[in-house]
Structure 1
Amino acid sequence: MAQFLSRYGKAAFFLGVFTILIIISSWDYPGFYPKWIFVGLPLTVSTSLVLYAVIYFWLYPIFRIGKSGIRNWALLLGILVLFGAGFYFAGRLSISDEEYKASFKRIHNSMQSTYVEATTERVQSELIGGTTVTTLYFFGISWLFVYWHRKKNLKKRFSKWWKQQSRNTSGVHILYLSMGWIFWLFFTLSPVLVSGKTVVWETTLLMMVPSILFFYINLKTSFDLLANSKILLALLVTLCWWGILLFVKACWFLLITKGLGMPPILDGKDVYKEVAKVGDKNNVYYIMGKAIGMIVASTAFKELIILMASFIYGYDRTITRYRKQMAVIAETRQREQLKQKEMEKEVVDARLQSLKYQINPHFLFNSLNFLYSQSLPLSEDLARATMLLSKMMRYGLQENSEEAKVSLAGEVEHLQNFIEFNQLRFSNQLQIDFATEGQVAIRRIMPLLLITFVENAFKYGELHQAEHPLQIHLKVDSQKLIFFVRNKKRKGPKEDSTGIGLENIKRRLALGYPDRHKLTISDEEDFYTTELTVEL
């Protein structure tokens, strides 16, 4: 079951909501047509689901990736005609001409207008017109549902949006919103309440539903447009929403009064009785149009105030968010400046420390040259050790004065000199596995970056066991360098470690390879391992 829901849960949700919406929209609330619920409604729902599938699997992808606009619109027109015929067939199969004429008579009676017998031609034209409106309505709803259905990670998007709304919507915020809408309701009804006219609360509250919905729709669009400094466009969109809201409220009034049977009383007036006093009382379309005009006229100014309040609220939220962003940017910039100053200070300290270390190597380098020349006739190993020490001092003197990159081959040679020097110290008894892989001659790296790890291994490692040699492996390619050192720990007393050398290496890596290096240190009971990866 869980696997089924994870695979088909999203489709089941959208199809379920879509089916419920179609049933609510197509239900015969007045009960004019006895066969509609059992024949016409199932056919309408089935046709709508097929239309949904056609849009989901065929039409929507064509419009997303298709290049031929004429062909796409021709296909769209063909689908509308085809499914319009399907909805027309459902109506013809479940509604007779006599039932349709009887529904005309009931509508005229509810409007208190004189009924004129409807002809067969009029019934036919009315059915075609109603089918056209139904097809366009169901097609628009289907397209909207398919648009959201095909979005990826919709559950995560909704969850993220819900968490954000939960964080931003406190109990006090909800209280303020509720008080605001209650104030608006009594403010708009104050003339009616003062005059003592009848207020039908169920109709009045239902008529507020489109106003509340469009308030937040306009708030969202205004906020997005104002965030991109499109003030005039945001104002124009607000006016467009105003026109759409007036039309929706008029249709909504007809739906709740004629479809749901709510009293047609708005602002203390019976709308249908008012419009039936003048004009053609025998023309139901005139009465319906007059009612729509009366609803629009009575609500236009109030709805404009609501949407302009939404526009101003969105503008205020935009300014508030802009100020918060500027404060965050200023704080981030200040932190970056402090971090930059700290890094510059560390570089200066490192260079001063480097100059400090150069004082002794100058003297030591000259002394080693003298010792080498004097020891050459006496001992070849002593002369070789002196020359290796001289090379290591020369490399440290030349390369440690700047943080510029040097040849990786020079670093490898420095490591080899250090290893050979220590082999001479211990009569070539040290067990060392040193290997390089890759083109070290053409790569460059920060100077003296690798020697510290090797020095620590010589200082604290047990290097005389053939079964556990000191492993020093260097691998380099066009993208990264991997340096691996592993040694067995020496038992017994050890030299005290300050950790300064390793900390200096970490700081130099942070300065020279920010976010481009990874240093892994594994301190086990018997072995100590370091692995450095650097993106070149």
Structure 2
Amino acid sequence: MKNNHIALYIDLLFCLVIMPLTIMLLPVDRWIVHNKAFLLTLIFYVYALYFVYRRTCIPKLFMQKKYIRIALLMVTLAAITLLLTYFPMPTRHSNPQQAAARLNMRTQTIWFFFLMVTGFSFAIELTFELFKQMLAKQEIAAEMNKAELALYRAQINPHFLFNTLNTLYALVLSGSDKTESAFVKFSGILKYMYVQARSEYITIEQEIEYIRQYTDLQKLRLNKHTIVRLTAMADNWQTLVPSMILITFVENAFKYGTSADTNCDINININLKNGCLNFNTVNSVIRQGNSAHKGIGLSNCRKRLELLYPGRYELETKQQDNKYVTKLKI
């Protein structure tokens, strides 16, 4: 739609500004008196030539390798221009030299307009065609990014589901009285995954509530040896963030930082201020991950961040002493 508006503005600029000013350079006053038919024919020819070029879009035909059609069009237009130079001149009493000079001037004028309109039209059409090619490439890249994001999210959901089912399975085997509460919380998490997570972006309030439900579910299987702290602050709870972008880091904190017989702690901090999201996790290192078989969660999360926020995020993960630290800034 914007391209159509730009094309319309350019056509109006040519028809109402450029051409009238150019025509005024001609001896219009004399031609109106002595050769009105030629002047009107010339004006009609110039505007018709312009719209023929705009209609056919020669640069597009060139990119499509339709060289024969281009050659036929140019030959036809050149022939029409040549025929216009033989337009009858008014019979006036003048010597042959003056008549030849007027004829030469008229011929030069006709070819000047032909070359000017041709050059202007080619420049405009070439610019538009290059612009369309750029937009097409951007659209293709955007669709590829969407496809990649959909793939990563499709992989993240089963990954999370598998980990959570392990938690429920452990509660069932142990006969814990927390099992019923765990299933209630799990149903809330499933609702989020298959309703909210279908949207590419959700509010920070919804994302935090999801993380809160997940941590509450994990607490049900933990004992007094593991202390979990979750703090969340936001100056605008309706700020949009990518869905399920933070849960992977929280999952890993519980996966590698909890123990049934060793004191450990998990700290999760989420802060949104002035459009900047800071997310930090610090957890004890109870068990080490298998470096030879890295999980898809962190890898997918990095890829999503790169696709959604190229050059606008900072992600740092490191182990300090017996603590594993994750820092994410968007």
Scaled by the length of structure 2, the TM-score of the pair is: 0.48
Structure showing greater relative contact order (alpha-carbon pairs closer than 8 Å, 6 or more residues apart)? 2
Scaled by the length of structure 1, the TM-score of the pair is: 0.31
Bigger radius of gyration among the two: 1
Higher helix share: 1
